[in-house]
């Protein structure tokens, strides 16, 4: 585990790639699909019962383009309980995906996705509320 904090029943494929395991915290019964990429320069926190589908990319690093030297920024990502990150989705740095939110396939999330919403597109926008 190389320093990752993993809850009970976490499932992952061997093809899942985590850059810095010590910057990863995963709650109980969450799962990672095939070829998920966790580029966790900053802390990535994943709640309970979260599904990260195949080829999703969680990117917790960027550069400050406003500064001529473009310094590296290591910003966190938080994905709250019962969220679903669908296939090929991109979650950018300093983003929170709220509880029970769904990020549609190939969605590009660069701003927070509120709880109980379905977001998609590039950049991701609210598609509709998630019904219980």
Residue of 13, 34, 63, 123 marked active site: 63
Catalytic status, residue 57: no
Number of neighbours of residue 78 by Cβ within 10 angstroms: 19
Six-digit token string for 33: 């699909």
Q: How far apart are CA 77 and CA 111, in angstroms?
A: 11
Identify the three-state secondary structure at position 87.
Answer: coil
Positions annotated as catalytic residues are 63
């Amino acid at each position: 585990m190389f320093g990752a904090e993993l809850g009970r029943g976490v499932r992952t494929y061997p093809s899942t790639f985590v850059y810095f395991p010590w910057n990863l915290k995963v709650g109980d019964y969450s799962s990672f699909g095939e070829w998920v990429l966790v580029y966790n320069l900053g802390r990535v926190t994943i709640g309970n019962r979260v599904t990260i589908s195949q080829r999703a990319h969680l990117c917790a690093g960027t550069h400050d383009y406003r500064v001529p030297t473009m310094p590296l920024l290591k910003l966190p990502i938080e994905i709250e309980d019962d969220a679903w990150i669908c296939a090929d989705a991109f979650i950018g740095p300093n983003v929170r995906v709220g509880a029970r939110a769904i990020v549609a396939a190939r969605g590009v999330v660069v701003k927070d996705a509120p709880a109980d919403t379905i977001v998609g597109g590039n950049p991701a926008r609210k598609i509709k509320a998630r019904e219980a």
